[in-house]
Amino acid sequence: MKVGVLTGGGDCPGLNAVIRAIVRKGCFHYEDQFVGFLEGWRGLLEDKSMPLDLASVGGILPRGGTILRTSRTNPAKKADGLDKCAATLQKHKVEALIAIGGDDTLSVAQKLHAKGVKVVGVPKTIDNDLAGTDYTFGFDTAVNIATEAIDRVHTTAEAHNRVMVVEVMGRDAGWIAMYSGIAGGADVILIPEQPFDIEKVAETIRLRHARGRYFSIVVVAEGAKFSTDLDPRHDAPVLQSMVKDEFGHAHLGGIGNILAREVERLTGFETRAVVLGHIQRGGSPSAFDRMLATRYGLGAIDMVHRGEFGCMAALRGNKIVSVPLADAIAKNRTVDQEVIDVAYGILDKLSAEKEAVEK
């Protein structure tokens, strides 16, 4: 069977492990042939491809990024985009396509499937917030990187009696903040799911001081929000709009910096922010993510041969199962009760109580 493979959306540690697993099982067990389309859906729109065989996936398992490169190109937003994609597949005599990507990529996959293309999806989001699957690859690596950064920042906070604010990824869901915050021993964790009261944050830090801990670590997801308007003189949204320049670039660095300023203002303790940014999604995947990505890849090629099209591979408990693409794309998966309970149990009391109350 001739199978096409592409990777779309933001890069994510483990993409190469998925590709490798697809190709190895396909070659060893099914006698498949493969073609890799380059830079996500752009590869289908512009007919850019590379051959994929055992040799081309040799040595890629430990590498970050994706040998097929990626882009955010969306053919559904271009005239005849989907038809062009289908035509390219036909030209290459591709009988089935495996699309690896986030909800954008998978929603295109679903539309192509509706047009009769045989598509199987593999979910990818470093934020771990895709409905329909328990864990996504890349997340564990991001959490490890963020945790290591929090560890580093800890020694500085302690040496200087400082509050350190660490901003991690997570626009709509606080998975990375929660996991890295708990693993890094944060004193306060702020997530998009729960708008936070800056006074409560300050109070938690003051109480730590009162019991002799002269430093604190605050982990904040990039999408976290104040629950109340700030004093207009230093209102965060105002500041945020202020730094959009005429070219439309935002320069503020986001919630981490605003939060550091407010914590310092309210507590009087020296406070600094670190914004981790892109280093969270690059580099070699953790062992966990390599295993998980391998399982997704094996699951996807099996689905192709079982004819389960219009579906994506998903992790449920310790099994890879097949779920309809439509279900997966439908909604974001926010931090679950089990994780909230852990934060409630381990964080400094006031900080935890607040979360408990508001959840």
Between 149 and 311, name the residue whose CB sits nearer to a second copy: 149
Residue 86 or 263 with smaller CB distance to a second copy: 263
Report the nearest approach of a second copy to the CB of residue 257 (Å). Answer: 5
> 157 and 186 in contact (C-beta within 8 Å)?
no
CA distance 123 to 121: 6
Cβ distance to a second copy smaller for residue 117 or 168: 168
The catalytic position among 103, 127, 140, 302 is 127
How far is residue 269's CA from residue 207's CA, in Å, rounded to a whole number?
13
Cβ proximity to a second copy: between 161 and 227 the closer is 161
Give strand pairing partners of 312: 121, 323
As a whole number of angstroms, the distance between CA 217 and CA 205 comes to 9
Listed residue (110, 266, 120) closest to 197, CA to CA: 266
Is 187 catalytic? The answer is: no
Nearest distance from C-beta of residue 158 to a second copy, angstroms: 5
Nearer to a second copy, 95 or 288 (CB): 288
DSSP 193-249: TS-B-HHHHHHHHHHHHHTT---EEEEEETT--BSSPPPGGG-HHHHHHHTB-TT--
CA 302/CA 36 separation, integer angstroms: 18
Q: How far is the CB of 77 from a second copy (least distance, A)?
A: 18
Structural contact between residues 184 and 165, judged by C-beta atoms closer than 8 angstroms: no
Write down the least CB distance from residue 342 to a second copy, Å: 6
Q: Is 165 helix (H, G, I), strand (E, B) or coil?
A: strand
Rounded Cα gap, residues 68 and 36, in angstroms: 7
Smallest separation (angstroms) from a second copy to the CB of 20: 8
Q: Please identify every residue annotated as catalytic.
A: 127
